[in-house]
Structure formats: C-alpha cells, structure tokens
C-alpha cells in the first residue's frame, strides 16, 4: 500500500523536526525518509528543500548518488546480496539465482506485490563470513540455501525484522591471532588524562617521535597533519576531527572489528586529537553497510559522556569542550576518499574535491579539519 500525499507530508515533517534546519542534515534526513517510506518521493524532496533552503536539484542529486537511497519504492523488504569477489568465491552468484527464484523476483526489481526487492550490492564488509547480504540495511551473514529458505518464509509471512531470528544477523569478529595490540588492556580516559597532564604541545611532540603515519595509503605523518590543522585554527575558522570509517575495499573488514571491540580507544584517539588541534566537534563517518554497529557505537559515546570523557570541561579542564557525532553513509565507495567524505558530511554528493587546498586548512565547512581513519586513531594510543 503506497503512502498518500498526506502521509508523505506528515512523515517527512516528523523527520525534519528531528534535525537542525541546515544543509548538513540532508543525508540523515534522506536516510530516514528512505527507511520510513521505502523511497524518497519527489513530494518529500520538495518539502525537505523548502525546510533546509536547498534547491530541488541538490536534493535529487544527493538522492540519486547514494546506492541506499531510491526515488522508486523498494518494498518493505529490501534485500541485497554482496557481489564482491570474496563472495563470488563462496558461491554467491549461484545462491543469488536461487534467492531470486524463491522470492519470485528478478534481480534489480521490486516484486509485483510491492513487498520485496532483491538486488546485488557492493562488498558489505562481511567477507570473512560470506556469502553475506543486507536486509533493509542490516547485515545478513553466512547465507546458504537453508537460510535463504528461512528468509523467504519470513518475507512472505510479512514478519517484522524485529521478530526475525537473531542468528540471521549474527556478525562475528573472527579474530584468530589477537597479538599484542588487540590483547592489551585499556582503561577509558587514561590516555586522555596523560595527554592533559603532559599538555597539548608535549603530546604533539611525542606523536612526532612515535613516527605514526596514516594508514590510508599515502603514509602521511600524523603529527604533521595535526600540527597544520592546529596552526590553521582560529575563532573564525574552528577545527574539526573526522574519523573515516567508510572502508569499502573488497576483502576489507578491519574497521568493523576495531569499532566493535575497541570503540573507546578510537573515540579517545579522536579526543586527544581535539586537545591538540583545539577542535570542539568530531564526526565518525560510518559506512552504511555497518548499520548494525550504529546503536552500539551510540551507546559507547553516551557512556563516555556520562563518564565526563565527552562534553564540556573534559577531565575538569575549563574550556576543553569536545563531542563526537555519528554520521551514517548511504552506500558510496568513493566516500572513503577524505574530501568526498567531507562533501557527504556537508549534505552533498560524495564527489572528491580538487586539491590544494587540503582539508587540514579548508575541510568541513571550509574550516581546518583532521581526517584520519580508524587505525590511526586507535593505533596512536598504542604508540604513546
């Protein structure tokens, strides 16, 4: 049953009320509309554009750019099977044919009754437990014919996802050899306390001595990036800290495991970066395929706020204010590139920027911005 114009207006208005009326809210708003209406209709685009003072062309461009948004209804159950090479090797293509046959729908299409859509998607970050897929954005692991039959029965029975067996959604870390770095103990707040006692300048000097470099391929010195951002920060151009958790390379799932097991360390690394750069706001950009981590990470952030590790006057230091916001992507591999990620945070299509200037001086909202990936923020605390 399709939503009426009145329904669309009401539901879109309720979603808009959850967010500040600014362009940076665009992608979260569109994600919520997609979730509730199962697509982003033109009527909702016009309503969002009016509320955020954005042109319809931008709203439509963003909607059509991200794989997890759609201008056409995708049904109550949106099922996507990973099409990465690792899943191919585990028989995903044959399983996909069986899946489509049992559902009675061709890949890429919504079934005639509007209940379900089946399609292939890029790597879901579950390469260690494939064939894997997604249903309404939530991870489905270790798929086989028995699990497919079970899912088809649940779909045809119109069983809500909340009532599906949790075994279908189980995601394991699969660490076989933890080693020293994954086995060491960590007390939330300890590294931050040491950095505050040492001072921002001395902490930056220690970062320099550690030789820590970026893990994104360029191998850029982390301390130098943080120093450039610190020097560019002014009252008129405040700095930001961004953790890039939008890994999307086939066969890659390190961020998924680190965020599940070591989120406190990642967030603490971001907070130490804020101490050095003077940032008051941080973002963790989480790839859309890791929707299952969103609520657990929110719980960690709230625990840190309750412990005085995020918020105002951290560890009793007047003026040291810093908080972190989770930002969920919507299916765009290119957003793993730092400037495309920043564009996405700003409510735009994730298109890389021409450089220079670089994000450390002209990043989020044109302000100095540190962008490092999960490994850097976690590993930085291990080397200090």
* Inter-residue contact 242 to 201 (CB < 8 Å): no
Q: Report the pLDDT value the prediction gives residue 383, as an integer from 0 to 100.
A: 45
Per-residue pLDDT of the chain (384 residues; tens, 9 = 90+): 578 999 999 999 999 999 999 999 999 999 999 999 999 999 999 999 999 999 999 999 999 999 999 999 999 999 999 999 999 999 999 999 999 999 999 999 999 999 999 999 999 999 899 999 999 999 999 999 999 999 999 999 999 999 999 999 999 998 877 776 677 778 899 999 999 999 999 999 998 998 888 766 677 889 999 999 999 999 999 999 999 999 888 888 999 999 999 999 999 999 999 999 999 999 999 999 999 999 999 999 999 999 999 999 998 888 999 999 999 999 999 999 999 999 999 999 999 999 999 999 999 999 999 999 998 888 756 544
Token pair, residue 324, equals 């972190």
User: Can you say whether the dihedral through the CA atoms of 153, 158, 162, 163 is positive or negative?
Assistant: negative
**β-pair partners for 104:** none
What pTM was computed for the model? 0.95
d(CA 307, CA 364): 28
Domain boundaries along the sequence of the chain: 5-65, 77-169, 188-382
d(CA 214, CA 366): 22
Contacts with 92 (C-beta within 8 Å, 6 or more apart), sequence order: 81, 82, 83, 130, 131, 143
Alpha helices in the chain (DSSP H): 5-16, 26-37, 42-52, 56-65, 85-89, 92-103, 145-156, 179-183, 190-198, 200-210, 222-232, 254-261, 263-277, 294-306, 338-345, 374-382
Residue showing tokens 């940076």:
24
Concatenating the DSSP letter of every residue in 206-264 gives: HHHHHT-B-SSSS--BHHHHHHHHHHH-BTTB--EEEEEE---STT--HHHHHHHH-HH
* Inter-residue contact 370 to 242 (CB < 8 Å): yes
Domain 77-169 has CATH 3.30.70.100: no
Distance of alpha carbon 281 from the chain centroid: 17
According to CATH, the topology of domain 188-382 is Rossmann fold (3.40.50)
Q: Report the pLDDT value the prediction gives residue 185, as an integer from 0 to 100.
A: 76
Q: Report the pLDDT value the prediction gives residue 268, as an integer from 0 to 100.
A: 96
């Amino acid at each position: 049953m399709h939503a009426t114009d009145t329904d669309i207006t009401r539901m879109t208005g309720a979603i808009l009320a959850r967010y500040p009326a600014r362009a940076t809210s665009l992608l979260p708003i569109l994600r919520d509309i997609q979730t509730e209406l199962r697509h982003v209709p033109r009527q909702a685009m016009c309503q969002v554009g009016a509320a955020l003072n954005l042109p319809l062309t931008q709203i439509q461009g963003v909607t059509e750019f991200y794989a997890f948004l759609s201008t056409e209804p995708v049904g109550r159950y949106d099922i996507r099977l990973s099409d990465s090479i690792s899943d191919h090797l585990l028989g995903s293509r044959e399983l996909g044919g069986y899946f489509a046959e049992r559902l009675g729908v061709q890949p890429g299409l919504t079934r005639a009754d509007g209940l379900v859509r089946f399609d292939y998607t890029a790597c879901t970050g579950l390469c260690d437990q494939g064939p894997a897929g997604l249903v309404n954005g939530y991870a489905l692991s270790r798929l086989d014919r028995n699990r497919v039959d079970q899912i088809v029965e649940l779909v045809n029975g119109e069983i809500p996802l909340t009532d599906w067996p949790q075994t279908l959604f189980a995601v394991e870390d699969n660490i076989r050899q933890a080693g020293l770095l994954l086995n060491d103990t960590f007390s939330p707040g300890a590294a931050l306390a040491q950095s505050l006692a040492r001072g921002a300048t001395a902490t930056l000097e220690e970062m320099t001595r550690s030789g820590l470099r970026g893990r994104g391929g360029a191998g850029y010195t982390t301390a130098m990036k943080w120093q450039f951002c610190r020097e560019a920060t002014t009252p008129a151009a405040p700095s930001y800290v961004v953790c890039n958790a939008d890994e999307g390379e086939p066969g890659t799932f390190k961020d998924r495991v680190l965020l599940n097991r070591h989120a406190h360390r990642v967030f603490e690394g971001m907070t130490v970066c804020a101490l050095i750069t003077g940032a008051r706001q941080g973002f963790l950009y989480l790839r859309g395929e890791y929707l299952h981590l969103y609520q657990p990470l929110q719980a960690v952030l709230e625990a840190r706020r309750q412990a005085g590790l995020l918020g105002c006057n951290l560890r009793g230091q007047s003026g040291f204010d810093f908080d972190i916001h989770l930002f969920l992507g919507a299916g765009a591999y290119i957003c793993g590139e730092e400037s495309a990620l920043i564009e996405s945070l700003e409510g735009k299509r994730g298109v890389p920027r021409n450089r220079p200037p670089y994000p450390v001086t002209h990043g989020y909202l044109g302000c100095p911005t540190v962008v490092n990936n999960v490994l850097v923020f976690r590993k930085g605390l291990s080397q200090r």
